[in-house]
Structure 1
Amino acid sequence: MRTRESTIIRHWKVSWRAWLVFWIVRIFVKPLFAAWPTTDRGIAALGHLEKVVDRLPRPKGVSIEQVSLGGVPSELITHHRRAADSLAGATILYFHGGGFVFCGLATHRSLCSVLAARAGVPVISVEYRQLPHGGIGTSIRDAMAAYTALLDTCEDPSKIILAGDSAGGYLAMKVAELAATEGLVTPAAVIGYSPLLNLALEQHDPDYMARDAYLPMSQVEALKDRWVGGPDPIVGADSPIEADPRLFPPVFFSVAQYELMRPDVEAMTGLLEDAGQAVETHVWSGQIHAYPVFGQVLGESMTTIAFSLDFTRRALGYRGRHSAA
């Protein structure tokens, strides 16, 4: 069952797998994250998670190639099927989540493989620098370097789709903003799975924020100074929600009912709609932050991925300001 109000679609049915994931994460993972030190040593220890995941069997049915995009290590994932609809000639540039401290190509390889297979287009996953190697400004610098290089190498630069979850959703929106302000070819669309749209999360109701299944606000507050520090400043608006909404292409959002990102996702949806920009947002009950990363494990993840690709097909079928179908 789902209900719709304006461009926000709410989904209420929860599968048993999603229910199980929610409570496992709530009971075991959130307390671990809350206690994890945000020192360089603690962040480095989290990096071992990426190495462990990288040893797991790789997704079948896709080709995976290590590439460099603008000097940034990346991974090109392709499927033998090629899009024959409005996505033909498109490329998805994906920025993984992880709070600018952990995760990488391996942790998001399954999701990117699903996107490549379902869309029938190349997906390039970007391994941008994170803490302790640089703050958010450094991450943005790498993301822009990758996007700028892709404009010169992809099949059709007018058909680049930016995508990302959590911190990666922040980068996708920032690249779209900066491409517009710097006079570059702008992306055709943005997909944000539980995107971080506001660095000032502490401004929201603390009782609501405490209901997030596994992201503790205490760690967000501990990391904030390190996010905005570093050798590279944040160019443009500090947070995507502070940018001119007219700068953005058609945008698709998904978010869990109870998570840190939801207030700003819904607020950003309203800003984009008021500015006449195409936007579609899905709010899912019983899910955790960035649940599409689970890929084929959760039915809700696969459905959300399908919705996001359907949205981009409509966006590429008609470029410019328009209302979501």
Structure 2
Amino acid sequence: MSMQSAVISRALRFGLRPLVHRLPGHTVGIRTARTAVEAASILVGHHPRAKVEGVNAPQADDEDARPVIGEMLTPEDGAADDAAILYLHGGGYIVCSPRTYRPISSRLTVDTGLPVFVPHYRLAPEHPFPAPLDDALDAYLWLIDEGYPADRIVIAGDSAGGHLAAALTGEICRTGLPSPAGLVLYSPWVDLTCELSTECAPHVQDAYISIHTARRIGQMVMGDFADPRLALLECSWADVPPVLIQVGGDEILRPEAERLAQTLQDSGTDCRLQIYEGQMHVFQLLNRVLPEAREAMEETASFVRTVIGDPADDPGAVA
């Protein structure tokens, strides 16, 4: 664990975690949190060698349908035009946006040389599941319509976006749509009931997410609607492309990531689980200051290049 990681984790544990723990669960509180997160994201910025362009594309087959909205990030010296990454941001399904995750999306586009599309999917509780899944699927189909072959699109996501990315990939495979090249999950929120995390909570020192917070948000997202696509551990995972899962060793969602990796491996999927000891939830966001996050992003770029057909790279594994 680097000195930078130790300092930041301690600061978050005693500064941000108490605030997140007390986040109000009503509409006004959620909107206030969204505003605060967006304001903070302006200060973070994005990789200096990445360009950001807004997307607002009507759906070709249905003019009355919600357009595909989001951000397309590309390297300043140009991006490949035959492959892409679809990135689904985290935020518990209730906060955050493509802007919030520019530290990851901009780093991905620079490291891989691929365009990265981050859709602005609808959030709960105003838009309950499966609205986010519908928007993610629309974004995937839009990329295909834009000329990116499905087998050269990598789907990625973190936290709740990791849950959404996995649910999207499963839905694509189950419905017979063209399969993506691969799937990348950062600290995926696998079990929205939080039963697995609850079992391990007394032994985990997560820097800013408590099991109380995770369970409360999970209840808001799920409500009383038991959509089977929410239960990733009970889904069928046949014919799924290669998967890379990265998780921090000190985060509350580690057992969920480990269980999903085992489930995928048992189904015959090529799944690589990388556990970064001492790291917190979605530590990849801090890739400009944490050496562990930079290493994780480099591993991701290697994985992406491998699954889209570059034989020069082998993602390997990290203990």
Sort the TM-score into its range (normalised by shorter chain). Answer: 0.7 to 0.9
Contact 1:43 1:131 in 2 (8 A): no
Is 1:271 aligned to 2:263, yes or no? Answer: yes
User: Structure 2 residue aligned with 1:65, among 31, 45, 53?
Assistant: 53
Residue 153 and residue 99 in structure 1: after superposition, are their counterparts in 2 closer, same or farther (change >3 A)? same
Cα drift, residue 50 of structure 1: 3.7
Residue number in structure 2 paired with 1:98: 91
Residue number in structure 2 paired with 1:228: 222
Residue number in structure 1 paired with 2:152: 159
Residue 209 and residue 199 in structure 1: after superposition, are their counterparts in 2 closer, same or farther (change >3 A)? farther
Write the distance in 1 (CA, Å) between the matches of 2:35 and 2:123: 14
Write the distance in 1 (CA, Å) between the matches of 2:41 and 2:230: 32
Write the distance in 2 (CA, Å) between the matches of 1:185 and 1:111: 26
Give the TM-score normalised by structure 1: 0.86
Is 1:22 aligned to 2:6, yes or no? Answer: no
Alpha-carbon RMSD: 2.4
Moved more, 284-293 or 194-203: 194-203
Write the distance in 1 (CA, Å) between the matches of 2:308 and 2:34: 37
Counterpart residue type for residue 73 of structure 2: I
| Equivalent residue runs for 1:1-325 within 5 Å | 14-56=1-43, 57-68=45-56, 70=59, 71-81=67-77, 89-203=82-196, 204-208=198-202, 211-229=205-223, 236-317=228-309
Contact 2:184 2:300 in 1 (8 A): yes
Residue deviations 1:170-210 (CA, integer Å, cap 9, x gap): 11111101111111111110110101111121344154465
Cα drift, residue 45 of structure 1: 0.5
Contact 1:96 1:165 in 2 (8 A): yes
Moved more, 52-61 or 94-103: 52-61
Task: Show structure 1 runs of 4+ deviating over 3 A.
Answer: 53-59, 80-84, 206-210, 233-236
Residue deviations 1:121-143 (CA, integer Å, cap 9, x gap): 00011111112321232211211
Contact 2:167 2:230 in 1 (8 A): no
Cα drift, residue 81 of structure 1: 4.6
Residue 242 and residue 305 in structure 1: after superposition, are their counterparts in 2 closer, same or farther (change >3 A)? same
Write the distance in 2 (CA, Å) between the matches of 1:25 and 1:310: 30
Report SS of the residue matched to 1:98.
Answer: coil
Contact 1:49 1:103 in 2 (8 A): no
Long gaps (5+) in structure 1:
1-13
Residue 54 and residue 275 in structure 1: after superposition, are their counterparts in 2 closer, same or farther (change >3 A)? closer
Write the distance in 2 (CA, Å) between the matches of 1:177 and 1:66: 28
Write the distance in 1 (CA, Å) between the matches of 2:284 and 2:276: 11
Write the distance in 2 (CA, Å) between the matches of 1:324 and 1:234: 37
